């Protein structure tokens, strides 16, 4: 590290509550403890490619802890190894040159799996990189938690609570579609927190007959409403996931539409009226929860310490409540879905929640063993 370290900072991929809290924590820690200069890149990797950067002084990162979004802007399509702006060309060499022209000692990128994969490639061509795991989906390999997830779950839970009362008033079946791509973390956690009767995850193919059975049983038993939480990546047995046009930074397709598809599948098979609410980007907006502010601050200050101690090629992690790190090589191009022996799944089943599959069960070791919560 130089006597006055210069550190680049960017936020990549979709935005997420807590990004500004990390920007603040990385910058303040490095400025206060190492007299560092911070260079912020605008709009994710787009800023490195199109040379859009600005100095972040202490005052620029003050007062942003509670702000949603990202003061740097982000892009979920700009990839230096396949830049759409130049017909999919590899512009990584000019990115490396720009990094050196700016006199940077390291680059800290805050992002999800797509960002971490790009960061790993940048590390391989000579940049010194540290990653901070962000995503409301909670699906990054190597960490038990990403910041943003707790906020998304809180927002989705509040939505379920509100839909509960209107479902009850009208004796309706309410379908709530959550985000999460191929992972069901948000649907599972918000579904359990909101007391959903049915929780449908990408990890478990659903059977329409089983959902009909649950709704009818409740109708007959005098509970004239049903709450169904469905992850956007869920799919019926033998069927397909509902997808939309377009791809993101990692080349992943866009999900969306399973809620209405499920409504169509159920119509005519149950007596109650059906309504579908798609929570969409509301789950990513606004101020982070206290938990996410704390996690983001801890992640950011840990990333700063890693930079200062000369580490690179690694992503900050939280594992068994301990901060640590993992090689970017072990994170790149991987994702973490809900394991089928998840204790949270077991908890949902044990209180009578259906996961839409008649024979699905979670076999956990003896009841008296300790178990993690997720």
Catalytic choice (43, 105, 137, 197): 137
Q: Write the burial class of residue 23 (CB in 10 Å: 0-12 exposed, 13-18 middle, 19+ buried).
A: buried
Asked if residue 185 lies in contact with residue 344, where contact means CB atoms within 8 angstroms, the answer is no
x/- mask, ligand F6P, residues 254-273, rule CB under 6 A, reads xx------------------
With binding defined as CB under 6 A, does residue 117 bind ligand F6P? no
Pairing outcome for strands 173-178 and 226-231: parallel
Among 42, 137, 177, 207, binds ligand F6P (CB under 6 A): 137
46 vs 137, which CB is nearer to ligand F6P?
A: 137
Minimum CB separation from ligand F6P for residue 283, in Å?
Answer: 7
Return phi, psi of residue 257, to 5°: 115, -5
Please give the size of the binding site for ligand F6P, defined by CB under 6 A. 14
Distances from the Cα of 59 to the Cα of 27, 28, 38, 189, 308, angstroms:
10, 9, 12, 37, 21
Asked if residue 105 lies in contact with residue 6, where contact means CB atoms within 8 angstroms, the answer is yes
Minimum CB separation from ligand F6P for residue 56, in Å?
Answer: 25
Q: Give the separation between CA 90 and CA 212, rounded to whole angstroms.
A: 51
Question: Position of tokens 């956007």?
Answer: 232
Minimum CB separation from ligand F6P for residue 135, in Å?
Answer: 5
Site for ligand F6P in 205-244 (CB under 6 A): 232
Minimum CB separation from ligand F6P for residue 355, in Å?
Answer: 20
Among 38, 104, 136, 187, binds ligand F6P (CB under 6 A): 136
Active site residue 137: yes
With binding defined as CB under 6 A, does residue 76 bind ligand F6P? yes
Strand order in 274-278's β-sheet?
Answer: 198-200, 226-231, 173-178, 274-278
With binding defined as CB under 6 A, does residue 181 bind ligand F6P? yes
Q: Give the separation between CA 3 and CA 258, rounded to whole angstroms.
A: 54
In the Cβ-directed half-sphere of 42, how many Cα atoms lie within 13 Å? 6
234 vs 270, which CB is nearer to ligand F6P?
A: 234
Minimum CB separation from ligand F6P for residue 365, in Å?
Answer: 32
Q: Name the site residues for ligand F6P (rule: CB under 6 A).
A: 14, 76, 112, 135-137, 179-181, 232, 248, 254-255, 284
Catalytic center residues: 137
């Amino acid at each position: 590290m130089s006597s006055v370290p210069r550190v680049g900072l960017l936020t990549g991929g979709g935005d997420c509550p807590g990004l500004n809290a990390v920007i603040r924590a990385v910058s303040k820690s490095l400025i206060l403890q190492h007299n560092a200069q911070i260079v912020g890149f605008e709009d994710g990797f787009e800023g490195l490619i199109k040379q859009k950067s600005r100095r972040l002084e202490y005052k620029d990162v003050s007062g942003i802890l509670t702000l949603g979004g990202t003061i740097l802007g982000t892009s979920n399509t700009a990839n230096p190894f396949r830049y759409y702006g130049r017909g999919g060309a590899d512009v990584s060499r000019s990115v490396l040159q720009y990094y050196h022209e700016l006199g940077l000692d390291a680059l800290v990128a805050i992002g999800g799996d797509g960002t971490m994969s790009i960061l790993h490639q940048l590390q391989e061509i000579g940049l010194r990189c540290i990653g901070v795991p962000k995503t409301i989906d909670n699906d990054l390999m190597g960490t038990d938690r990403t910041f943003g997830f707790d906020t998304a779950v809180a927002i989705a839970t509040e939505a379920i609570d509100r839909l509960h009362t209107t479902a009850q008033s009208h004796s309706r079946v309410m379908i709530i579609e959550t985000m999460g791509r191929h992972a069901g973390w948000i649907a599972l956690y918000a579904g359990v927190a909101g007391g959903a009767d049915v929780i449908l995850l990408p990890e478990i193919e659903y059977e329409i007959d089983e959902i009909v059975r649950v709704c009818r049983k409740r109708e007959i038993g005098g509970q004239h409403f049903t709450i169904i939480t469905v992850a956007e990546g869920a799919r019926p047995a033998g069927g397909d996931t509902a997808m939309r046009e377009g791809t993101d930074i990692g080349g992943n397709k866009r999900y969306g539409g399973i809620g209405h598809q499920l409504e169509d599948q159920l119509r005519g098979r149950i007596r109650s009226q059906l309504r579908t609410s798609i929570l969409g980007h509301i789950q990513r907006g606004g101020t982070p929860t206290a938990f996410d502010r704390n996690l983001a601050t801890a992640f950011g200050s840990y990333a700063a310490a890693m930079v200062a101690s000369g580490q690179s090629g690694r992503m900050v992690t939280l594992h068994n409540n301990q901060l640590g790190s993992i090689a970017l090589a072990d994170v790149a191009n991987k994702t973490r879905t809900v394991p089928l022996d998840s204790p949270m799944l077991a908890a949902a089943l044990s209180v009578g929640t259906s996961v839409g599959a008649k024979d699905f069960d979670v076999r956990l070791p003896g009841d008296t063993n300790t178990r993690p919560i997720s």
